[in-house]
């Protein structure tokens, strides 16, 4: 009997160390090392599925391309985020907090994908539970097999027999490998099981989708470790109080990482939201102060989203600044610029900012809408709900141009907006596509106030 051997692993990045250390030398995180048993089973490596293939060096020009034969997942939002569909042999990690809807999304994909045999492996729910969920989602007509199993050698054995075209694992944290004597969900198990599945995917050219849990604290084997191993990392997120869910690509070896997929959680599963602007703009009966619509672009898709600001006198000593869906530091910067350039005493006011719909925006073109919303709330005069904004604001109060302004203008026009405020430096491009929409160029923050409120 071999002696039990243990090692220490960083729970953030998965780095290994023979002894405990306080700061991870690989990712720089503190206090992330945990001890784990790494004793190898004496039977040797047995993954249950082994295709021995001698690898030889090949001239890059002689590597045979299998062409762009991506697998259509029958889910447009997912296809877009993946960069056009599933790449055969790729490993995709879908991460997200518990209860956000990962299992629902993947089961939905398993049920609707066409011309593919799908194996849905669950270590979390029973067959009956999955069947009940499938009925709620509307049963597909395709070949979807359910397997409730957590041991990887068993799973790989079943795969070898069934020969599915797609494998979905729910979740990687429940899997165990015989080769490692550690509990499910531990870092060494995750590393081992994920690499076994990755080996399988690459040898037989079948895509594997792994579902992974993320805890807020990231204490459990964080996704970081897996992120290095897989080809694509998708993050499923959203505010649980809103019905909207966003699928974001964090890493993608086969596509862009700036794409977004938007879903709405309904009682019969996730509905794809193909026109996000419609849901992100609140319909007001009459104009209200403190709201401004930004013409943003997420990935390749233009999106009009509403920013809402509330400026009020600070009731207590220190004024509060609070943001939902927007970077607080960026808001502070914009407020400082406003204070300096427009002379408003915002330093003594509480400022709250909210992006409607529970979305998180990163596009710098949102700046101008935020500034407009703050100004509007501060003087309590509404901005026309038919006006939209697309520009970045610089530290000296200059209104800076943004990328792909043509697309933003066209989208605003399509959705019935009658004016768009942009940087003067974007004027030519905006004018080239504007048909009915009025283009309002500005170059300084002072102009914004004057144009909006006279």
Q: Which stretch binds ligand TYD (CB under 6 A): 4-12, 17-25, 265-273, 429-437?
A: 265-273
Residue nearer to ligand TYD on the CB measure, 267 or 436: 267
Residue nearer to ligand TYD on the CB measure, 103 or 152: 103
Question: Secondary structure of the chain: what % helix, strand, coil (to 5)?
Answer: 30, 30, 40
Supply the angle between the helices 328-342 and 445-453 in degrees, to the nearest 10: 80
Specify burial of residue 292 (Cβ count, 10 A radius: 0-12, 13-18, 19+): buried
Q: Does 267 bind ligand TYD (CB under 6 A)?
A: yes
**How many residues belong to the site for ligand TYD (CB under 6 A)?**
15
3-class DSSP assignment, residue 49: coil
Distance CA 436, CA 454 (A): 23
Q: Does 103 bind ligand TYD (CB under 6 A)?
A: yes
Q: Does 108 bind Mg ion (CB under 5 A)?
A: no
Residue nearer to ligand TYD on the CB measure, 111 or 429: 111
Q: Does 103 bind Mg ion (CB under 5 A)?
A: yes
Q: Residue from 133, 386, 431, 444 that binds ligand TYD (CB under 6 A)? A: 133
Residue nearer to Mg ion on the CB measure, 159 or 211: 211
Closest residue to Mg ion using C-beta atoms = 103
Residue nearer to Mg ion on the CB measure, 238 or 397: 238
Positive or negative CA dihedral for 18, 23, 25, 27? positive
- The phi and psi torsions of 199 (rounded to 5 degrees) equal -60, -45
Query: Least distance in Å: CB of 158 to ligand TYD?
Result: 22
Q: Residue from 70, 80, 102, 408 that binds ligand TYD (CB under 6 A)? A: 102
Query: Least distance in Å: CB of 182 to Mg ion?
Result: 22
Find which of Mg ion, ligand TYD, none residue 223 binds, CB within 5 to 8 Å per kind.
none
Q: Does 177 bind Mg ion (CB under 5 A)?
A: no
Positive or negative CA dihedral for 361, 362, 365, 369? positive
Comparing C-alpha atoms, which of 381, 393, 368, 369 is closest to residue 454? 381
Mention every residue, 6+ apart, whose C-beta is less than 8 A from residue 70: 82, 84, 85, 86, 87, 88
Strand partners, 235: 95, 248
- β 33-37/6-10 pair status: antiparallel
How remote is the C-alpha of 192 from its chain's centroid?
26
Find which of ligand TYD, Mg ion, none residue 71 binds, CB within 5 to 8 Å per kind.
none
Q: Which stretch binds ligand TYD (CB under 6 A): 38-46, 131-139, 382-390, 398-406?
A: 131-139
Q: Residue from 46, 50, 163, 268 that binds ligand TYD (CB under 6 A)? A: 268
Query: Least distance in Å: CB of 170 to ligand TYD?
Result: 7
Mention every residue, 6+ apart, whose C-beta is less than 8 A from residue 354: 307, 308, 309, 323, 324, 325
Find which of Mg ion, ligand TYD, none residue 99 binds, CB within 5 to 8 Å per kind.
ligand TYD
Find which of Mg ion, ligand TYD, none residue 268 binds, CB within 5 to 8 Å per kind.
ligand TYD
Applying CB under 5 A, the residues found at the interface with Mg ion are 103
């Amino acid at each position: 009997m071999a002696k039990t051997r243990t090692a220490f692993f960083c729970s953030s990045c998965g780095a290994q160390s023979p002894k405990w250390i306080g700061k991870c030398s690989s990712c720089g995180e503190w206090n992330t090392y945990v001890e784990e048993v790494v004793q190898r089973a004496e039977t040797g490596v047995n993954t249950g599925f082994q295709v021995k293939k001698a690898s030889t060096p090949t001239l890059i020009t002689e590597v045979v391309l299998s062409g762009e034969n991506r697998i259509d997942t029958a889910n447009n939002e997912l296809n877009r985020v993946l960069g056009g569909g599933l790449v055969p042999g790729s490993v995709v990690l879908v991460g997200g907090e518990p209860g956000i809807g990962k299992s629902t999304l993947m089961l939905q994909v398993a049920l609707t994908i066409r011309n593919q045999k799908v194996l849905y492996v669950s270590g979390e729910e029973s067959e009956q539970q999955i069947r009940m969920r499938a009925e709620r989602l509307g049963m597909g007509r395709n070949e979807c097999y359910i397997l409730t199993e957590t041991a990887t050698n068993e799973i790989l054995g079943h795969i070898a027999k069934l020969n599915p075209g797609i494998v979905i694992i729910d979740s990687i944290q429940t899997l165990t490998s015989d080769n490692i004597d550690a509990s499910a969900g531990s870092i060494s198990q995750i590393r081992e099981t994920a690499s076994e599945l990755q080996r399988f995917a690459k040898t037989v050219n079948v895509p594997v989708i792994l579902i992974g849990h993320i805890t807020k604290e990231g204490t459990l084997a964080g996704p970081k470790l897996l992120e290095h191993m897989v080809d694509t990392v998708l993050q499923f997120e959203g505010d649980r109080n809103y019905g909207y869910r966003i699928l974001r690509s964090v890493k993608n070896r086969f596509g862009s990482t700036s794409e977004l997929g938007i879903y709405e959680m309904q009682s019969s599963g996730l509905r794809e939201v193909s026109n996000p602007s419609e849901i992100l703009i609140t319909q007001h009966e009459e104009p209200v102060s403190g709201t401004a619509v930004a013409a943003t672009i997420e990935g390749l898709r233009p999106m009009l989203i509403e920013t809402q600001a509330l400026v009020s006198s600070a009731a207590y000593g220190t004024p509060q600044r609070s943001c939902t869906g927007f970077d607080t530091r960026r808001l502070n910067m914009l407020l400082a610029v406003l204070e300096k350039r427009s002379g408003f005493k915002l330093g003594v006011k509480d400022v709250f900012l909210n992006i409607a719909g529970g979305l998180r925006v990163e596009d710098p073109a949102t700046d101008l809408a935020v500034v407009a919303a703050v100004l509007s709330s501060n003087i309590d005069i509404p901005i026309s709900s038919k006006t939209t904004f697309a520009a970045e604001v610089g530290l000296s109060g200059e209104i800076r141009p943004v990328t792909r302004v043509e697309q933003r203008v066209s989208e605003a026009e399509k959705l019935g907006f009658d004016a768009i405020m942009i940087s003067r430096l974007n004027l030519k491009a905006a004018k080239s596509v504007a048909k009915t929409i009025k283009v309002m160029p500005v170059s300084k923050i002072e102009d914004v106030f004057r144009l909006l409120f006279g």
